Structure 1
């Protein structure tokens, strides 16, 4: 009984009695209740296995899977997370109403962006969720058209001047181009002065903020994270109603979100800017590194680049378009989707580089039904699906460590059938999550990457300079696309 009281006290973040809490937590959780999954807590109070996990997330999880099976609980930075690795058990997590994504996500939004009202106002949650319908259908077609126009404007300078080789770091290139294209497509262009100057300054602050994101969502006090709090405050102020009023060309989704926020906040409330920062972060945080890895793998595999160029050329010829000066080409969303090798390349990059996990908060004690046995979960814990274990399963994907640009193509069409243990998998690729937590902007993100790759492959000669293997930075081991541990030089010039 005393153990259970102790566990209840420490199911949340560490309080001011830091050392005492850590020791008690470590001791109390050594006593498992009947039916609970195996517990791996390491020897460090509070941190648990966080350091081992961060060194090699996939290798660490595979080791635990061999030792304990497909379901086990790990202590990571003060959180007890039960991982479900059997893909045939994913639905038991996704459909269970005692497992909440909203509670988990609202806590993340409060820690990372200082958005507080969502934790206490379900109506605001529900209304903002409706906005995501403007990232699909006809609204997505409008965004696609506007994005192509913005991409044209951003790259025209390179097209006009890059008649000789231009050398630049690849990640820096992706950061610059994609941030500006995304911001101008979603939020518009500055009325007061240079849009380029404004987005450049915003991007520089954003990158500093984003670098600390994994620490922001932990329980480390923001005051211990250097100047990230002041950077976040600056970003929020630049995205308040007052500043956004100086930008024209808001997308439908931004306009609808602003209208909703003005119902629940005063116009001067800084938390409106915090909402916009969260939306901007979600729009670029995974798109930029995905574009980096797509370019990196294509530059490393010229045979793949050649196939994509042929596919794009064939589409342009079939639609009566010619590659002239400037940007005479125009591709609709349906035409972009017809480029099966291009899409397969992007999906393969997502398979290799996405380390997102799908989290749910346990609202009440419950039992998860699975094979070969059922497992009991405690109220206040987290449950997670870890897709990299699926993405790197050699039973599902042959030679999973290799980049194969055509892995998701079969008989000239998109391949959607994959098996494990002789059974067809409903979920075989999960970089965008699933269920309630599935990324609502996934269609726009894929389109943006397709557009930029089409333009670069059509108009530019591209070569890698640093022919060296690039490893991933595992600091984001449970959140999104892994960033590269270092940048790499490449060069480009306009095709003659």
Structure 2
């Protein structure tokens, strides 16, 4: 192994660093800095020095680091206090773990999944009145229903996609009351940790980096490996079988430069911060897609329309939304 001295990316503004540029388009910022400075970036953002490991082969060292050195919870507690004025009482983690095991696994998960199936069927079929009406193409009759449906899904605290709408509502209330929400550019990162003691971070290539106590480390999976063309060729194209082997089985072997990548896809996080509602989230998405395909036929109004880009403002907050709607029409199959 060898020690490497990192270049600190300070930006033009003292103390603030790149705090204004970073949240505007986090992906482009990290990609540009990676090309210029390599796989380990140390960026100054709002008074903090944040280390971004960008090499997917080295992510295991970050995920498996001991809580005595990297604390995933400290940033979360501070953020909740800034956003909502809620001060941790110290035992929330145990309460959440107990609740999650009760309702999001085993028998509790089965009950929740059955309830979701009934609710989806009720919402989708509640306005069916006659067989004649069922055969006509519809464009917007269920637009209100769709909004209610997705809003209802988001009321479950287990859905990460609710984070953005909740944050917008909080910002609105704070603005109306004459308050300002403290800005934290790391809201756009999926994994943020506080460095509790001086430590050494070893990369897969053997290079070692000194991480200082009081700094932060953050990982942005979307750019590190989800859209990394070395792991997923042509990552922005829609490929229904990108996670399937030729025989239809689940594909788990992905490589970068001939080396197998362990963390090739992290929709629900990893390690101690892995999303507890991942099983229910998978179930409800499969139910929704299944029922929509069983009950309805679909046609694009403009088949040649280009696929819209994604809304970069939602990066790090779950499912990415397109910058505009795709118009389609549908009708019941029966």
TM range (shorter): 0.7 to 0.9
Indicate which of 46, 59, 68 corresponds to 2:28: 59
Root-mean-square deviation (CA, aligned residues, Å) is 3.3
Q: 3-state SS of the aligned residue for 2:140?
A: strand
| Alpha carbons of structure 1 residues 447 and 401: separation in structure 2 relative to 1, 3 Å | same
1-structure distance, mates of 2:153, 2:210: 47
Shift of 1:208: 5.5
1-structure distance, mates of 2:145, 2:49: 39
Deviation sequence 1:70-107 (CA, Å, 0-9, x none): 11111234432210111222122122221001111111
Q: 3-state SS of the aligned residue for 1:384?
A: strand
Pair 1:99-2:70 in alignment:
yes
Deviation sequence 1:41-89 (CA, Å, 0-9, x none): 2213444224433343223222211211111111234432210111222
Pair 1:109-2:77 in alignment:
no
Indicate which of 219, 240, 254 corresponds to 1:385: 219
Shift of 1:396: 1.1
| Alpha carbons of structure 1 residues 77 and 489: separation in structure 2 relative to 1, 3 Å | farther
Pair 1:211-2:168 in alignment:
yes
2-structure distance, mates of 1:429, 1:378: 29
1-structure distance, mates of 2:141, 2:190: 29
Shift of 1:212: 5.8
Partner of 1:177: 149
2-structure distance, mates of 1:490, 1:40: 46
Shift of 1:432: 1.2
Partner of 1:453: 289
Query: Is residue 36–residue 377 contact of structure 1 (8 Å, CA) maintained in 2?
Result: no
Deviation sequence 1:252-288 (CA, Å, 0-9, x none): xxxxxxxxxxxxxxxxxxxxxxxxxxxxxxxxxxxxx
Partner of 2:184: none
TM-score (norm 2): 0.81
Indicate which of 35, 41, 54 corresponds to 1:85: 54
2-structure distance, mates of 1:420, 1:228: 50
Query: Is residue 169–residue 490 contact of structure 1 (8 Å, CA) maintained in 2?
Result: no
2-structure distance, mates of 1:495, 1:387: 39
**Higher Rg:** 1
Deviation sequence 1:113-151 (CA, Å, 0-9, x none): 332124xx2x33323222221312222111111110111
| Alpha carbons of structure 1 residues 76 and 485: separation in structure 2 relative to 1, 3 Å | farther
Indicate which of 354, 358, 361 corresponds to 2:191: 358
Could you tell me which runs of 5 or more consecutive residues in structure 1 were left unpaired when the two chains were aligned. Answer: 1-33, 188-204, 217-221, 233-354
Partner of 1:469: 307
Query: Is residue 418–residue 428 contact of structure 1 (8 Å, CA) maintained in 2?
Result: yes
Partner of 1:126: 94
Query: Is residue 368–residue 376 contact of structure 1 (8 Å, CA) maintained in 2?
Result: yes
Instruction: Between the two structures, name the one with larger relative contact order (CA 8 Å, sep ≥ 6).
Output: 2
| Alpha carbons of structure 1 residues 186 and 66: separation in structure 2 relative to 1, 3 Å | closer
Could you tell me which runs of 5 or more consecutive residues in structure 2 were left unpaired when the two chains were aligned. Answer: 182-187
| Alpha carbons of structure 1 residues 81 and 456: separation in structure 2 relative to 1, 3 Å | same
TM-score (norm 1): 0.56
* Greater helix content: 1
2-structure distance, mates of 1:210, 1:167: 31
Pair 1:394-2:232 in alignment:
no
1-structure distance, mates of 2:232, 2:163: 36
